[in-house]
Structure 1
Amino acid sequence: MPAAMTDRQRLVGFTLCIATILLAVLDTNIVSAATVPIVGDLDPVHGIDKIPWLIAAYQLAATAALPLYGKLCDVLGAKQVFIGAVASFLAGSALCGMAGSMGWLIAARALQGVGGGGLMSVTMVVLRELKGPEEKAGGGKGGSIGGIVAGAGMALGPWLGGTLADHADWRWIFYVNLPVGLAVLAAAVRVLKLPARTTRRAIDFPGAGLAAAFSTMLLLVTEWGGKDHAWSSPLIVSLLVATAAALVLFVGRQATAAEPVLPLGLFKVREIRYGFAIQGLVGAAMMGSMVYVMIYLQVVRGIAASSAGLHLVPMAIGMAAVGLLSERLAAAGWSQKTFVVSGTVSASAALALLATLSTDTSLWTVRAALLLMGIGFGQLLGQLIQLVQDTAPADQLGVATTGVRFFQTLGGALGAALFGTVLSRVYAAHGPGGMTSGIGRLTGPARQQALDAFVTSTDVVFWAATGVMLLAAVLATRLPSRREPRTADVNAAESTAPPPPAPLHR
């Protein structure tokens, strides 16, 4: 067993986790604002057709690796897996910066995504291990660190990408990761003293492969369906059949494997079962809100992509405010259920407010809705992970934690597909030409008609997202009001507590 970490080492460990989460979130969003200069440099003739792969490669690889990351944490220990994820991310970043072609860049972006998936998920396991026994047994504290950093990253990513692309070489989008990542790597090797695993356990690589195949094909369906290819096209239908087959095979494998990557027994725990479901719904609603707020600002209000990203700052402020107040609220008696119910209701109200947008709505209304959304999502992102971690068996902490992220990502992909289809269908029924891509070429009354139809379409999308979030609120009411700490955590807390005073003898 490694020696116990000092308070200073724990502080350094928490700082490392914040830095890695920020890196992961930034790199999820940063490339989208710099695609034009990238294509112009690497492949000005055919590069535009490869942009979807450039953007999707990171997310596909990160999602596919999630189940395996969780199992590796449980088998090898979180420190070793964390170091491996950071190293993979840095190698991918360096190769992205040196890319000489679009194919090279896409492949390097996928390698970077493999590491990025670990930065976001394994870091949550490390955060849990950094807590003292009393904090684990007590719960309710520090659950919103990830939410604060995620909010800042989502707001800063598009702006930072656009700024670097405009005022420096686009390669610095990737090179900027290296000094921060190398510092994190060196400090993690030196400072982190997390529990090591001494018992040899098998790793279900076939199950991990099936999970990767299922999630990758599902993400491709949601990326292509209704946009690049019709839902009834042979390619999409074939992918849907293959996705369903991979899911059936994956579930069957998890039911029979000795060491499954996502144990079905986790779903027997009510907190975990509802935590996964709520996180999936939150992922869907968040994707709908983030993507279509940005589209509304750019298409309807004519705001540039990098500037539109700055309108997400109120959302980041809302998340940060929740993070700063969460410990006080927990001390005042707020349970994890209270946080989740309040968060889903707040987010539902924000989405309903966004559903009232028009072509001339005050931008302060948009900012107010995003602030409220940040308050809602800030309560959810940290608390749902902590809820699952608090109730997961100690030897399945890794798979339970990455499971939360896995369901959030899949929910976001399905939400993007659902909302994209809704937007296209509603606009086709009301807009001129029937295609949203042609709005920029219209002028005069036709353009105004197109903008009115587009706003109507986005309003329907936000109402659909409101319904998704209200369903999450209903599920949140099914959570137990109070939880019993895991026996392992209680025992650990008792073993480190000072002995009671000896009785006085008369």
Structure 2
Amino acid sequence: MSSSTGRRRISFAVCIVTILLAVLDQNIVSAATVPIVRDLDPDHGVDRIPWLISAFALAATAALPLYGKLSDSYGAKRVFLGAVATFLVGSALCGTAHTMGQLIAFRALQGLGGGGLMSITMVVMAQLKGPGGKGPGIAGIGAVIAGAGMALGPVVGGALADHANWRWVFYINLPIGVAVFVLAAVLIKLPHQASRHRIDYPGAALAAAFSTSLLLIAEWGGKEYSWGSATILGLSAAFVALLALFLWRQATAAEPVLPLAMFRNPVLRNAFALQGMLGIALMGTVVYIMIYLQIARGISASDSSLFMIPMAAGLVGTGLSAGLLKKRGWTHRTFLLTGTITNAVAAVSLVFTGVHTSLWLLGAELLVLGVGFGLLLGQVLTLAMESTAREQLGVATTGIRFFQSLGGALGTALFGTVLSRMYESKVPGGSTSTIARLSGEAHAHAVRALVTSVDTVFACAAGAMVLAVVLAVRLRIPGRTDGPDAAGRAGGHPVVPVNAK
């Protein structure tokens, strides 16, 4: 084996570890939220869990539109190293937080780097592989890594929270991240393909601003402030104005971060909406299943995290079977219809979760949910790539990630509001954060109220998946096949093969 081949294989391994680190960090906090709350804010911390989760997602979402342009202008390796460094600084600061406010702010900084760990790493892998080059299948490893991250993240997070300290949930990133940074800096050699582009910083700032306004409305509306309050009305007006400015900027900028022309492509338009619904549904299940298990059933963080294993197994199993299913004639539309229907059925079944629901039944429901997500994983992104002109592959890819992240952040905030409002309607003046300190009938009543409130969240997630089914049914891909040599037109736009570089 030549030295260049060995260097490239190690570089691929570094990229795979980086993606796994990104997926792990999206899931590792979910199992440690309750211990974090008990330490930093035992009275009102549960109500701020949505911010802890969505701060990372929102910051990553805001950064996503910029990463593609920065990579084109300065080179993928430089931007990759910058994203890893930012992620490491955010992780270190999260471990030192002494209040929920500090942790949420540091989590947002971590998210700025985390937004590039997945997207730019894929660019690095593509450039390492090169046109027609040999190397790991970039799309093929997605399901395995996502499943491993979904399974290991909550397990590692719960174990650290129970047996060490929740701060190690963030500190564990440091040795791995430093190793990734050093190896990438020394070993990764990419062709110099950077060319100067105009970077639409105002457009990216407006995207972050209108996204934040929308998230604040979802988080505060009807909970912190009434829907008719000056604060919510002001935020609503700001959201409309900022969104209008963003659309104007995208229509007039020389190189917009999210070209409006893409929305004239019906395949991309449906793909963006579908990915947003998937982001909403995923956050509405994983986060609140952990809350249900730990608060309502009294299961420790480490033990509750084991319930993610069936979901991860379903995801990995169907993800690895995708190639065989394609050989048997499954098209993108078949994958999307089957996956969304499967997820809708699983989400509806979660609505009937009760105080004494069999944990075996819950595990089976999560397995089915994993099967559904496994059928969907990567299909929307691949479809978007195949339905996009070559010169728009970068913005289409980050656009898919943008809508998924925005959907996840918005869903977390909305579901947090739904949970709090539903619980307070059943336990006036009560807080979900104080359930563990209650006893007797008061505790039993509070648990029943929490479970019915969580069921309402699951119903909202099921509604998102039903809407995803409708979008999948409406999806039409004229004039193309689903094979790797697909050619023709998709919604008036040239089809680009998945493996095109």
Q: Give the TM-score of the pair, scaled to structure 2.
A: 0.83
CA separation of 1:482/1:62 partners in 2, compared to 1, >3 Å: closer, same or farther?
same
Q: Deviations over 1:243-296 (max 9, x none)?
A: 221111101100110100011111222332111110001111111111222222
Q: Distance in 1 between matches of 2:376 and 2:354?
A: 29
Larger displacement relative to structure 2 (156-165 or 202-211): 156-165
Q: Deviations over 1:87-122 (max 9, x none)?
A: 221233344446688776555443322111111332
Conserved 8 A contact 1:344-1:376: yes
* 3-state SS, counterpart of residue 262 of structure 1: coil
* 3-state SS, counterpart of residue 182 of structure 2: helix
Q: Distance in 2 between matches of 1:422 and 1:103?
A: 22
Q: Distance in 1 between matches of 2:51 and 2:343?
A: 31
* 3-state SS, counterpart of residue 433 of structure 1: coil
Match of 1:174 in 2: 170
* 3-state SS, counterpart of residue 24 of structure 2: helix
Q: Deviations over 1:159-199 (max 9, x none)?
A: 32343244335543333222322232233334445454354
Match of 2:481 in 1: 482
Q: Does 1:314 align with 2:310?
A: yes
Q: Does 1:120 align with 2:115?
A: no
Q: Does 1:222 align with 2:218?
A: yes
Q: How does 1:83-482 map to 2 (within 5 A)?
A: 83-97=81-95, 107-129=105-127, 133=131, 143=139, 145-168=141-164, 170-194=166-190, 196-424=192-420, 426-427=422-423, 431-433=426-428, 435=430, 437=432, 439-440=435-436, 443-445=439-441, 447-477=443-473, 478-480=475-477, 482=481
Q: Distance in 1 between matches of 2:166 and 2:423?
A: 35
Conserved 8 A contact 2:311-2:370: yes
Deviation at 1:443, TM superposition (A): 4.7
CA separation of 1:394/1:422 partners in 2, compared to 1, >3 Å: closer, same or farther?
same
* 3-state SS, counterpart of residue 189 of structure 1: helix
Q: Does 1:16 align with 2:14?
A: yes
Larger displacement relative to structure 2 (310-319 or 32-41): 32-41
Match of 1:503 in 2: none
CA separation of 1:189/1:269 partners in 2, compared to 1, >3 Å: closer, same or farther?
farther
Q: CA RMSD in A?
A: 3.7
Conserved 8 A contact 1:222-1:416: no
2:481 partner letter: R
Consecutive unaligned residues in structure 1, runs of 5 or more: 497-506
Deviation at 1:378, TM superposition (A): 1.8
Percent sequence identity is 56
Match of 2:491 in 1: none
1:433 partner letter: P
CA separation of 1:342/1:260 partners in 2, compared to 1, >3 Å: closer, same or farther?
same
Q: Distance in 2 between matches of 1:366 and 1:39?
A: 25
Q: Distance in 2 between matches of 1:400 and 1:440?
A: 46
Conserved 8 A contact 1:74-1:396: no
Consecutive unaligned residues in structure 2, runs of 5 or more: 489-493
Q: Distance in 2 between matches of 1:326 and 1:357?
A: 31
Conserved 8 A contact 2:65-2:399: yes
* 3-state SS, counterpart of residue 378 of structure 2: helix
Q: Distance in 1 between matches of 2:449 and 2:177?
A: 45
Deviation at 1:312, TM superposition (A): 1.1
CA separation of 1:103/1:371 partners in 2, compared to 1, >3 Å: closer, same or farther?
closer
CA separation of 1:445/1:239 partners in 2, compared to 1, >3 Å: closer, same or farther?
same
Conserved 8 A contact 1:69-1:398: no
Conserved 8 A contact 1:424-1:435: no
Conserved 8 A contact 1:142-1:327: no
1:397 partner letter: L
CA separation of 1:432/1:35 partners in 2, compared to 1, >3 Å: closer, same or farther?
closer
Q: Distance in 1 between matches of 2:388 and 2:346?
A: 32
CA separation of 1:39/1:365 partners in 2, compared to 1, >3 Å: closer, same or farther?
closer
Count of paired positions:
486
Match of 1:78 in 2: 76
Q: Distance in 1 between matches of 2:210 and 2:311?
A: 32
Q: Give the TM-score of the pair, scaled to structure 1.
A: 0.83
Deviation at 1:134, TM superposition (A): 5.7
CA separation of 1:133/1:387 partners in 2, compared to 1, >3 Å: closer, same or farther?
farther
CA separation of 1:460/1:482 partners in 2, compared to 1, >3 Å: closer, same or farther?
farther
Deviation at 1:75, TM superposition (A): 3.6
1:482 partner letter: T
* Larger radius of gyration between Structure 1 and Structure 2: 1
Q: Deviations over 1:319-369 (max 9, x none)?
A: 111222122222333222222222111111111221222222211111011
CA separation of 1:492/1:172 partners in 2, compared to 1, >3 Å: closer, same or farther?
closer
Q: Distance in 2 between matches of 1:98 and 1:410?
A: 27
2:335 partner letter: F
Conserved 8 A contact 1:67-1:261: yes
Q: Distance in 2 between matches of 1:384 and 1:129?
A: 22
CA separation of 1:182/1:427 partners in 2, compared to 1, >3 Å: closer, same or farther?
closer
Match of 1:499 in 2: none
Q: Distance in 2 between matches of 1:374 and 1:297?
A: 18
Conserved 8 A contact 2:50-2:413: no
